[in-house]
Chain A
C-alpha cells in the first residue's frame, strides 16, 4: 500500500470515524492500535467543534449549545477545514445551517450565523489611515467614474431576509425578552470593526449596492449605476462623500492607462 493510500484511509478514519482500516497494521505496545487511532478522531471532532462554538458565540446563544454542537459535528464531517489557519474555518457553516433540515423552524438561523461570522472576522482586522475627500477632488473630473477605491480591511456588507441585526443587539446587550416574534424583513447591513471592536448598521438598498460595489473594487461609475438601477433618486455625490467622511477609503486607484496609479493620502 502506498503512503498516499494509507493516508487516505487514515483520513477517513479521522474525519468519518470509521473504526477499521483494511490491510493496515497498527502497533501500539500493549495497547490496541485501533483504539489509539480513535484518539485522533476524537481530537479532530472535539477541537473543531469547540472552534466553531467559539467562532459562533451568538449563534450558540440563539440555538442553544447542544443543537449547535450537533450541527457542528455533522458539518465537520461534510466540510473539513481546507486551510491550516483555523480562525478562517467556518465561513461556509452559515449557508450549511440554512440548509440543515433540523433548523427548518428557524429560517433566519443561517443569516444570523453569517452576521455572527462577519462580526468575528472584522473585529480582528486593523484600520489603516483613511484618505480625505480633497485627494479625490483633485483628480481630473472626467477620470472620476473610472476610479476604484480600496476600503478599510475590517468592512463587509451583507443582506438578510430577517431583522437579524435586532436579534444580534438583544444578544449583545443581554436583553432578550421571554418571547419574541420575528417577522420577515429585508435588511442591508454594513459591518465594520478593528482591534477587538465591531459595529453594524442598516443601509438603504441603493446605498448598500453602491458601497458593496465600491468594496468589490468595481469602478465608481458602475457602482453608482447599480444603485441608480434600484432607486433613481439615489445621489451618487452624497454617497461618495459619505465614504470619505466615514473614514472608509484607504486608497484611490486610477486607471488612466494600463498602469494602475495608487494614491494614498
Chain B
C-alpha cells in the first residue's frame, strides 16, 4: 500500500479529481480546508472510497505553550472517523497563541521545556484523534540561541519518549540546512530510520538577502521540486528505504497532471532505490 507516490489534494483540483479519478497513488489533504467547506467535504467522502487518504493538519499546534485547540482536534477526529485515513500527521511547530491562529508553522527552541510540552501534547493529540500522529520536521529560516539540542537530537528524543513516528520532509531538510548552515545528509543520517513513516517533497524559492550578502530559501510550495531536493530524496531513500512519499504544492497550482508527473518521478526513484539501482540524477 502507498508504494506509488501520492499528491496533495487542494480545493482548486477537487472537482476535476472527483470527475476524472486520475491515477494518483494516494491523496493527502489538509483537514482545515474541508472542515470549513461542507460541499468539499461531501466530495472528499466520495474520493475516500477510491483513494487512500492521508490527513495532514496545519492547525493542530502541538508546540503552543498556551495549549492545543481541543475543539479543533475534536473536529478533525470527526473527519478522520468518516474518511478512515491511512496516515495522520502534523508539524514540529507552533501556530496558535492564546486563541489566535497565526497561519504559519513557527519554529521552536529545542530545549527540555519544549520537549516536555511536545511529549505531553503528542500523547494527548494521539488520544484525541485515536490514531498515531506523525510529526514533520519544519523548514526553518532561523533558530533560537537558547536551544540546547539540535533539531535531530530533539526529534530523536521525542521519538524515544513518545514512540511517535516521523514525517521527514526532504525539501524542508534541504531548506533548513541551507538557511542555518548545516549538512543535510548528516541530518538524515541522525534521524531514527525505523521511525520514518512518510516523506514529503515540495517546492521552495530562493531570495537574496542583500544586506547580509546571502540568500535565503523560502518554503513556498508554489513551484516544482528543485534538483537539489530530488538528489537529497534519493539519499533519503537509501537511508530509510522506500516510504510513502507525497508531492506538496499549495500555491500557484499547476495542472493535476503536472503533479502526477512529479509523483511518477518520485515513484521511479523509490523503485530504483529498492532495487539498489544507481542514483539517476535529473
Contacts and interface: CB of A to CB of B under 8 A. Distances in A.
B238 to A, nearest CB: 26
A32 B212 contact: yes
A195 B32 CA distance: 18
A11 interface: yes
B162 interface: no
A39 B142 CA distance: 10
Interface in B7-49: 32-33, 35-40, 42
Given A3-B65, A7-B66, A27 B142 contact: yes
A28 B142 CA distance: 4
Nearest to A42: B218
B141 A40 contact: yes
Nearest to B209: A31
* Chain B interface residue bracket vs A: 35 or more
Contacts of B218: 39
B104 A43 contact: yes
B123 interface: no
Nearest to B220: A43
Contacts of A80: 100-102
Given A7-B64, A126-B38, A81 B100 contact: yes
A123 B40 CA distance: 11
A217 interface: no
Given A35-B212, A47-B103, A4 B65 contact: yes
B39 A31 contact: no
Contact of A7 (B97, B141, B142, B179): B97
Contact residues of B: prevailing secondary structure: mixed
Contacts of A194: 39
B215 to A, nearest CB: 9
Nearest to B147: A27
B106 A40 contact: yes
B96 interface: yes
Contacts of B108: 3
Interface stretch (B109-117, B128-136, B192-200, B227-235): B109-117
B34 to A, nearest CB: 9
A255 interface: no
A195 B39 contact: yes
A39 B106 contact: no
A48 interface: yes
A88 to B, nearest CB: 5
B280 to A, nearest CB: 31
A165 B38 CA distance: 25
A257 interface: no
Contact of B103 (A4, A48, A153): A48
Interface in A81-119: 81-88
B181 interface: yes
Nearest to A194: B39
A85 B36 contact: yes
A15 interface: yes
Interface string A22-38: 00111111111101110
B96 A25 contact: no
B211 A35 contact: yes
Given A4-B65, A30-B214, A82-B99, A36 B104 contact: no
A14 interface: yes
19 contacts: A2-B113, A3-B65, A7-B64, A7-B66, A8-B97, A10-B106, A15-B100, A24-B144, A28-B180, A29-B179, A30-B181, A31-B209, A32-B209, A32-B211, A33-B142, A87-B33, A123-B39, A125-B38, A195-B39
Given A3-B65, A35-B211, A47-B103, 15 more contacts: A2-B65, A2-B113, A3-B108, A3-B114, A4-B66, A11-B102, A29-B181, A44-B103, A80-B101, A83-B59, A84-B69, A85-B35, A87-B33, A125-B38, A195-B39
